[in-house]
Amino acid sequence: MLHAKISGIGYYVPEKVVTNNDLEKVMDTTDEWIQERTGIQERRYGKKHLETTTTMGARAATIAIERAGISKEEVDFIIFATLSPDYYFPGCGVLVQRELGITQSEAGALDIRNQCSGFVYGLSIADQFIRSGMYKNVLLIGAEMHSMGLDFSTRGRNVTVIFGDGAGAVLLQPTEDPDKGILTTKLHSDGTFAEKLAFENPGAHGGYHLDKRGEAHDLQYSDATYGEMFINEHMIQSGQIFPVMDGQFVFKMAVQKFPEVIMEALASANLTTSDIDMLIPHQANLRISQFVQRKLGLRDDQVWNNIQRYGNTTAASIPIALCEAIEAGAVKPGDLVCLAAFGSGFTWGSALLRW
């Protein structure tokens, strides 16, 4: 049966390394606190004014396309996953098409906003397009330029220390080989706790959700026009234009949902945890990955972690980690690779693929 396989993969991380000690200089935090709670030692930040989510995505995409052995003009669909787009709209899908110089092809471009599970969702979408026979060369990119949207004061330290910039991309093509490619994908969501990890402003909520939490009055909306409710000086001054996160709540949900969705994928493919050769968890927090590893009974060499060096790169974390694992020879042809992600929404998902 027709399904998708990854024919080319690439990643790009910016040159600038930002250590925990560098963050100590701008906010009240310590290397010890960050490493103990998250495992993160350093992360990368893109070059201001010179790099964006789109340009980093394009660098990763160029490598993926070259490795797939096709020309960029042959890409017939683009999927771009990010929570830190260059613009509110249009999305990075069309911007990367322009950056790659392939607008003449008029290939479709789709942006998906599923945060940390964006890459797994994108993989599933690409697989469905390929299974249906609609497209033959689907480019999937996950990229983030978090550094442009974080609060570097002590107020934002619980979120800011976690995130880093980077991009990963894959080029997917059809195969009929049952021993190669994507075996299954599982996608889930539960919007009950949407604001537990969110970037609310600017936005068209007009204070609606905030009001339910009894906080809208702070926003002084009473005399505001609609436009001022979308973004205003008060939001900027009070830091409401930065992401918010209830870290402990997110942690508890993540350690429950990661193993659940991995077991679901394995069961649907008639496989067990002992069949997994390599688990690539979304790099949310090293403690979360270690918990999942223990729960599934996997050895250290069966789980790829690089959060120590890059922090959490959201939609980019899985393709960067997968690409590194392949380049290091830790994933070999025929291996069963399990990808899994959990994040804001909440949304979560998994994918099993035979490399």
Helix (H, G, I), strand (E, B) or coil at 18: strand
CB of 109 to ligand COA, least distance (A): 25
Catalytic residue among 282, 306, 323, 338: 282
| Residue closer to ligand COA, measured from CB, 55 or 283 | 283
Q: Which residue's Cβ has the minimum distance to ligand COA?
A: 247
- Contacts of 210 by beta carbon, 8 Å cutoff, 6+ apart: 200, 216, 219
How many Cβ atoms are within 10 Å of 313's Cβ, its own excluded? 33
| Residue closer to ligand COA, measured from CB, 28 or 176 | 28
- Contacts of 209 by beta carbon, 8 Å cutoff, 6+ apart: 194, 195, 200
338 is catalytic: no
Catalytic residue among 116, 137, 285, 323: 116
| Residue closer to ligand COA, measured from CB, 207 or 343 | 343
d(C-alpha 100, C-alpha 84), whole Å = 19
Strand order in the sheet with 108-112: 3-12, 166-175, 138-144, 77-81, 108-112
| Residue closer to ligand COA, measured from CB, 33 or 230 | 33
CB of 29 to ligand COA, least distance (A): 3
Opening angle at CA 76, ends 71 and 80, nearest 5 = 100
Query: With helix as H, strand as E and coil as C, how does 282-312 read?
Result: CCCCHHHHHHHHHHHCCCHHHECCCHHHHCE
| Residue closer to ligand COA, measured from CB, 102 or 250 | 250
CB of 116 to ligand COA, least distance (A): 4
312 is catalytic: yes
CB of 35 to ligand COA, least distance (A): 11
| Residue closer to ligand COA, measured from CB, 94 or 279 | 279
Amino acid identity, position 268? S
DSSP-assigned states of every residue in 128-162:
HHHHTTS-S-EEEEEEE-GGGG---SGGGHHHHTT
CB of 338 to ligand COA, least distance (A): 17
d(C-alpha 282, C-alpha 121), whole Å = 12
Catalytic residue among 306, 312, 323, 338: 312
Number of H helices, E strands in the chain: 13, 13
Residues that bind ligand COA (CB under 6 A): 29, 33-34, 37-38, 116, 157-158, 161, 197, 245, 247-248, 250-251, 254, 284-285, 288, 312, 343
CB of 57 to ligand COA, least distance (A): 19
Length of the chain: 355
282 is catalytic: yes
- Catalytic residue positions, numbered: 116, 282, 312
